[in-house]
Structures are given as structure tokens and as C-alpha cells.
Amino acid sequence: MTDTNRLNFQAYLVDTFRAVKEEPVIFILGGLLVHLLTMVSMGLLAGPLIGGYFLLFILYLRDNRQPKFNDIFSGLQQFSNLFPYFLVLLLIFLGFMLLILPGLLFSTWWLYVLPLMVDRKIPFGEAMKLSMNKVNEVGFFMHLVFLLLISVIPFLLIDMLSAMIPFLLVLKFLLPPLQAGCLAGLYIDQFSSPAAATLPLQGNMPAENARTPEFGKEAGAGNTPKTAENPTEKNNTTSPLKHDNKRGSDTDAPKEKRENNST
């Protein structure tokens, strides 16, 4: 596991190409299919489609889960949760249309929104807050550089090279898995606890699971069991005062008898 305060872009590339090499049909053709369907739906299905594609990489890189072609559409099972993601894309698009800088700002802040939504199954409002907090905590500039490395720079390089060698346009087929794989690797590094996605919060635990043990019961220290009192022993024990009174009454009886005889 890499340091969460550093960007290991080389490791993300290695992991992505390893995944593509082992499952080229799913990651390459699946990425093209997702890209095509997203364009046909005019971005309305971007959340369920791209989210399911992201989840393929996350489960493959983090959990070593072998993907299946049907898993590409697994995001449709979270349709109601992932559908509002097009609002995030709309805000980013408007930011680029205005002054470009707001678009870069939104794109960097909300870099983790879709992975968080599809992996942890949280609403997009909460995912936007978590993503923004993580970007600000780790470093805005680091995430901006990462965004440029997986989006802007590859497009510029492919366009420049294809102007000289048109056949190199085929490299654009590798852009969807490149972007999804590298972002999945960065997401796993920054949100490296998969159990947090499934474990309930401490305050939301059921009452029966949040029992507080009674003091000293489990430790057993200082707790000596009480022995039951034997009623016969209790009855046979007499106080010392009773013995003294008894002896006093016995010695007084002869004295009274002698006094009566003398009279």
C-alpha cells in the first residue's frame, strides 16, 4: 500500500496495464461500450454505466475479483443512487463553459465522487463532501496533476501523434481503461479501508449489538461468591449476652432460697 500523501502514478499505470493484459475483452471493449452508451444517452446514464465500469477495476485491483462481462452493467443495480451523478457532470461542464478554471476546480474536487457512490453506496451529496475533504486534505495540486495526466495530456499526445500517423488514433481505445484503472488505483490508496464501506457507524449500531458489559463480570476480579447461610447454624449460635444472663439467674436462685430458710 502506498503513502496516501503521495501520488504513485507509475504504480497505477502498471496495475492498469496488468488488468487490461489479463482481461482485454472486458476492460477495453467494455470501456468502449460504456463510452458509446453514455454518449447515446447524452450523459444521463453516465452514473450507472461509468460507475459499474469503475467498480470492475476497484474489485479487481483491491479484492482480486475476476470480472465478468455482465459486471459492466452492475451499476444499473444502483440506478437510483448513481443516476444523479449527471448533475455533477453538468456542474463541471458549466464550469468549463464559463471560465475553464471553475471546471478544473470542480473536476479536481469531485474526482472521487463516482467511485465513492458505486463502492460505498452513498448519495452523491455526501460523496461530494467526502471527495472535496480528501482532495483538500491530501493536496489539491497533486490531484490536479493527476487529473491532467489521465485526461488532458493523453488526448493532446494522441491528437499530435495521429496528425503525423493517422493509425495511432487507435490508441484512443485505451483511454477509457487508462482513466478508470488509474483513478481506481488512486481511490484505493486514499480510501484504503474497504471495511468502512460496509460496517455501520458506531452511533447506528443496533441496541443488542451495543451492549455494555456489567462492571467486573467478565474480569472476575474482586467478586467472591457469597456462601449461603445455613439456617441450623444460625439457630445454634447464641450471643454471649444470653449465656451471661443464664449464669446470673442460676447463681441467684440458691441465694434467694437461703434467705427464705433463715427467716
What is the chain's mean pLDDT, rounded?
77
Of 139, 76, 83, the C-alpha closest to 111 is 139
Is 90 exceeded by the pLDDT of residue 169? no
**Residue 27 included in any domain:** yes
Domains in the chain: how many in total?
1
Angle at 159 between CA 156 and CA 163, to 5 degrees: 140
d(CA 207, CA 132): 33
Within 8 A by CB and 6+ apart from 93, the residues are 103
**Residue 250 included in any domain:** no
pLDDT (mean) for 151-166: 87
The mean-pLDDT minimum among 46-55, 87-96, 160-169, 239-248 falls in 239-248
13: left (phi over 0), alpha (psi -120 to 50) or beta: alpha
The mean-pLDDT minimum among 1-15, 62-76, 158-172 falls in 1-15
Of 144, 51, 52, the C-alpha closest to 89 is 51
Of 134, 114, 132, the C-alpha closest to 124 is 114
First and final CA of the chain: distance in angstroms?
A: 115
Is 50 exceeded by the pLDDT of residue 142? yes
**Residue 226 included in any domain:** no
Alpha-carbon distances of 260 from 142, 254, 256, rounded to whole Å: 120, 10, 6
Does the pTM exceed 0.75? no
Angle between helices 113-120 and 85-98 (to 10 degrees): 180
**Residue 152 included in any domain:** yes
Q: Where are the alpha helices (DSSP H) in the chain?
A: 9-22, 24, 30-40, 46-63, 79-82, 85-98, 101-109, 113-120, 124-138, 140-147, 153-164, 175-190, 231-236, 240-262
pLDDT value of position 4:
55
C-alpha cell, 65:
475479483
- Domain encompassing residue 53: 9-197
**Residue 139 included in any domain:** yes
pLDDT value of position 73:
92
**Residue 255 included in any domain:** no
**Residue 177 included in any domain:** yes
pLDDT band at 7 (very low <50, low <70, confident <90, very high): confident
Is 70 exceeded by the pLDDT of residue 171? yes
**Residue 186 included in any domain:** yes
Residue 44 gets which letter from DSSP? T
C-alpha cell, 77:
443495480
